[in-house]
Each structure stands twice: as C-alpha cells, then as structure tokens.
Amino acid sequence: MNRFSDAAHRTLACEECHKDMASDQQPHPDDRDTAFLKADATRVYDYSRCKSCHRSTYERYLKGAHAEALKKELKEAVGASETNETKNRRAPTCGDCHSGHYAKSHLSRVETGRNMTLVCGSCHKPQMLSYLNNYHGKAAVNLGDPDSAYCSDCHGAHECIALKDGATARAACRRCHPEAGDSFARFVIHPVMADDALSDDSPASAREKETRVALIRVVTIIMSILVLFVVCFFYGHTFIWMLRELHEKLRRHGS
C-alpha cells in the first residue's frame, strides 16, 4: 500500500479497476478452489476496463502487433496445454508492460525511456542489446539525451509497428531525420534474427534480412580485425622505435 500510495493510480479506489473481484463468475477469494489463487493475474484480468480512463491508448493497442499476437495465441490455445515454451513466448497484455499498482506518473522522458528499454528488452532481449550498442541507445540510455530515439519513437508505444516495409520505416526515420530516403530507411538497426520463429515475414523477406545481417556481421569482423591490426602495428612500431632510441643512447654513452 505504501508503494501504491506513490503510484499513478493512487487516487483510484480498488473497486474502480477490480469491480467485484470475480473471474468467470468465480468469487475472489474462493476458499473452495485453492488453485484460483495460483492463477496468473496478468493473464486473467480483463484489460478492457483500462479503456474507461485510457480509451485512445487502448484503441491503439487493439490495432497493434501485440494485440494481433494475443488473438493468435488465444486462438491456438483452445484445447491445447500450455508448456514452458508457450509461457515464455506469450503475447503481452497491458499488465505485462505496465504496473497498474506501482507505475509512477510525471516521469521525465529519459526516465520513461530507460524504463521502456528494460520493459521491451524483457521480451526482445537481442533487439535491446543491439539498440544499446548503437548510437540511439548509447545517447538515450547511457548519456540521458532526451533528443535521442527510444523504442516508442520508432515503433510506437502501443501500436508496436515492426517497420518491415520501406514506407513505414521511412516515415519513422523522418520523425527525426526529415531528409531520410529509401536507402536511409533500409539501414538495419537490429542486426539479429532471434525472432524468426515468431515472425510473420515471407520466406523471401526473411532471406533478405538474413543476408543483410550476415553481411553486417562479416563486415564487422573484417573491420574489427583491421582495427586490431592497425593498433598492433602502430604500438609495435612505437615500441621498436623506443628500443632503437634506447640503443642509440647506450651506444653513444659507451663510446
């Protein structure tokens, strides 16, 4: 309760979100069904109740990739048993990204962006790591630059656009780079293929990205070797030069 009293929803009564605390006509708590208390609250809660205060946000979510993934998950779950793999790959609901009890309001853009990076990274870890390894992530998260791009600046906060087609990617880039063209938008920001199993890409599109990612990795290796060679060469050259100078001093001193 102390944490809730400092959160964004602190002015709301419990009943405004939880109503009568019943799920599928089952009262809470139900002393006759101890398994009910073990249910995953994030999965069983009716998030349509969020619409009463966050209508536009909820409607954007319904149009997004996460909602589509949730529909697909629920459709496939009919008659199927849940495994550890499906638990780890569940589509996110409002409660997976937002804490209804403890999330604070009026955070700065940098604070919100840093929290967002961790939240998105909980499901998209390879993408988070690649983001933190490029200019956007380093400037935004590490340096706290409010003008740099966070996840939602490119993908949207609730629509969760994948930016797989050129026109959509170009529109996202032009929010910060007005002169961005087709070649600019084709730049691979996340050179990873970790989500292929969850992707709806066509085989041709997947092969194209795989080719680009492979090329990026090859170029990265070549450039790393080149940098290492140049550094070793000049450090070696400097060391040999120092030995020569020492030799000259010793020779002059001996003569």
Using the CB atoms, write b or e for 14-50: b if 16+ within 10 Å.
eeebeeeeeeeeeeeeeeeeeebeeeeeeeebebebb
Task: Residue 59: name the closest of 71, 47, 43 by CA.
Answer: 47
pLDDT band at 198 (very low <50, low <70, confident <90, very high): very low
**Per-residue confidence (pLDDT) for residue 235, from 0 to 100:** 95
Using the CB atoms, write b or e for 72-107: b if 16+ within 10 Å.
eeeeeeeeeeeeeeeeeebbbbbbebbebeeeeeee
Q: Contact, 228 vs 252, CB < 8 A?
A: no
Task: Enter the pTM of the model.
Answer: 0.72
pLDDT band at 234 (very low <50, low <70, confident <90, very high): very high
Q: Contact, 7 vs 101, CB < 8 A?
A: yes
Span 209-216, mean pLDDT? 80
Q: How far apart are CA 86 and CA 84, in angstroms?
A: 6
| Whether the predicted pLDDT of 14 surpasses 60 | yes
Q: Contact, 139 vs 145, CB < 8 A?
A: yes
113-151 pLDDT tens trace: 999 999 999 999 999 999 999 899 999 999 999 999 999
Q: DSSP character for 138?
A: I
**Per-residue confidence (pLDDT) for residue 129, from 0 to 100:** 92
Q: What is the DSSP string of 73-128?
A: HHHHHTT----HHHHHTPPP-HHHH--TTT--SS--HHHHHHHHHHHHHTT-HHHH
Token code pair at residue 142? 């590490």
| Whether the predicted pLDDT of 85 surpasses 70 | no
Between CA 10 and CA 21, with CA 15 as vertex, the angle to 5 degrees is: 125
Span 176-197, mean pLDDT? 79
DSSP-derived 3-state class of residue 26 = strand
